A and B are shown apart, each in its own frame.
Chain A
Amino acid sequence: MCMRLLNLEFLQRAGADLPTEIVEHLEKTRPAPTPPAHCRILKGRRDNIHDVVDFGRACDISPETICWELIQYSRLSLPPERRLPENPAILPALLVELLTILEILVLAFLESGVYNIYRARCTGARLFRNQTCRNDCVWIQAGGENMYGALRGRLLARLISLFKIR
């Protein structure tokens, strides 16, 4: 379901009987006190995807649709200095990296400094472990807390693809 990222304080509070050498090692190698609040890690890079056209082919979506959606996203969500080029000759040729796993660190319920690592997977049209394709459902913060009734600004969506544009 998910992995849990525990810190030394949590283990000691839970009464874990850790050997002295392990505690010393953990003390020495302790990273930053807490991970960033909204840490996201993309993994599972797919090869043979070079540009927006390849990306559309891999996801079975027309390049025109993808370009149009990218332009909409760029206009509505990106600051002016980071907007994508809207030139139809340039946009389809932008470098794209397609990935299949998004790791999300979520603060554990009633804990501080303990994070659960959730893995949202999206294989697109490809099979997952030789069975059906897997495109997980995720929560998205789509608006303020007064929107969408009891969901308080969150909406549900199915991941179709995870990508980076370079």
Chain B
Amino acid sequence: MQAVEDLSLEVAAGQVYGFLGPNGAGKTTTIRMLLDLIRPDQGDVFLFGQHIRRERTVLRRVGSLVEGASFYDFLTGRRNLEVLALTSNLDLPAAQFDAVLDLVDMREASRRRVRGYSTGMKQRLGIAAAMLADPDLVILDEPANGLDPYGINEVRALARRLVDEFGKTVFLSSHQLGEVEQVCDRVAIIHHGRLLREGSVAELVSEKSRLRIEAEPVEQTLAVLARRGATVTEDGTALLIEAKRTEVPLIVEELVHHGIRVYAVSAQRQSLENYFLSVTKGQDERVG
């Protein structure tokens, strides 16, 4: 089985781009390939339109935090950043270290050894490390993993600030859909290594909405909706069906045409989580 297959994503500059998928979908594999940490068995990886192996310098435009922040815990936070700068052959002024440490509110703590840091502090230092070379693209792979709600909130706000204040593009991989929904401009959903959907959060969640219909007689309404092929569930006096927003007028028209009295039709906004579950589950059923 291929971990990732023919995946092409277009991430516009100046956005937080969410990269979603269930565990094992190929998110981290994709990111690792983008960063040349693993090599694809077949094919090539392009970033900013450049082959990452042939045009190695393209990776200098990328900062990354992959699967949790890892540091030399016997060094201070600041020293870790200095080592990273040396490894990257970057001759950075002290002000640059201060700036990225200030960004994540770690200037004071960076004087201490990483050994004593909490997970949240390490993640923040990881984001500082990703920003060290002033990259165009910041890849954050599950940056909220292992964090408490405050930490998650901080990381979410930080991802947004990188775009809004610093003009960066953030590629955020996560399975915390609430987080993604709140912070991302666009999202891609992958499953079994394939791109299932891609679009803005608003587009995706409105792609399939749940309609709540109050109409009488109920039996006749059920029959009309069943003829349309809709799966109907009853919710007290109302009927619930899944339908696209564009189908709503047609459904109402058809019900009225059959002499059904329509009292109310309302679209229940679907959460990204529901949408995600419906598309990935649908894919699983097709694969199964």
Do A and B assemble together?
Answer: no
